[in-house]
Amino acid sequence: MEKAIVSLSGGLDSATLLYWAVNRYEVTAITFDYGSKHNTKELAAAEKLAKLTRVPHMLIRLPFVNDLFKSSLLKSGGEIPEGHYEDASMRSTVVPFRNGIMLSIAAGVAESSDASTVLYAAHAGDHAIYPDCRPEFLKAMSDAAKSGTYNGVGIADPFVDLSKKDIVLLGRELGVPFDITYSCYKGGDLHCGKCGTCVERKEAFSAAGLTDPTSYSI
């Protein structure tokens, strides 16, 4: 079976990608600790998901991101804004070129482990606010990875045209344990229910007509 590296944050999207991938590839999951406010909660979720799917799991620490980059998402940054993903205030949560850095590392891990593909869970709802989640960016990264590796590692984004609702519906079909996944940018014991990713999560379950298993503080 073809080998693939799955970028697993521990959130809803990457969890669904993991469950989708294990039916198609020999998977290794990688998670990045880059100093975000919610990294601790995400990492715990990623570990549980990897164990449930019985895939090898690698943790890669990138402390320089928190030290050098400007973003409210990072521990070194300001307060997380509240509101919808499409609000202009959400731009403060962008970590500059985060996905470019992570995908580059994942491509190196892929070539080193004889994997042909890196799988990444960018989706249509990310495009408006995050420039490194857009189809043109992901195509450019894949082209760069293919030309910069001996075995032509590709970067695939199978959810790039899907909405969050679509991913929730797919996850239900695949049996994803959504209650394990973690999304909230504030990183509390409960999802805050007010930041952009919490709002989007609520909307996705509602639009899909499914009960949201997430515990919110409001």
Q: Which pLDDT band holds residue 162 (cuts at 50, 70, 90)?
A: very high
Average pLDDT of the segment spanning 181-190: 97
pLDDT at 128: 61
Average pLDDT of the segment spanning 151-179: 96
- Secondary structure class of 137 (helix, strand, coil): helix
The set of residues, in sequence order, having a beta carbon less than 8 Å from that of 140 and lying 6+ positions away, is none
State the Cα–Cα distance between residues 184 and 211, nearest whole angstrom: 18
Q: What are 43-79's pLDDT values in tens digits?
A: 999 999 999 999 999 999 999 999 999 999 999 999 9
Average pLDDT of the segment spanning 78-85: 88
pLDDT at 127 over 60: no
Rounded to the nearest integer, the mean pLDDT of the chain is 95
Q: Which pLDDT band holds residue 144 (cuts at 50, 70, 90)?
A: very high
C-alpha distances (whole Å) from 23 to each of 2, 4, 16, 20, 156 are 11, 11, 12, 6, 16
Q: Which one is the CATH code of 3-208: 3.40.50.620, 2.60.120.620, 3.40.640.10, 3.30.450.40? A: 3.40.50.620
pLDDT at 218: 83
pTM, 2 dp: 0.96
Please list the helix, strand and coil fractions of the chain in percent, rounded to the nearest 5, in that order. Answer: 45, 15, 45
Average pLDDT of the segment spanning 2-14: 98
- For the chain, strand residue ranges (E) read 3-7, 26-33, 57-61, 117-119, 154-156
- Residue listed under structure tokens 């519906």: 169
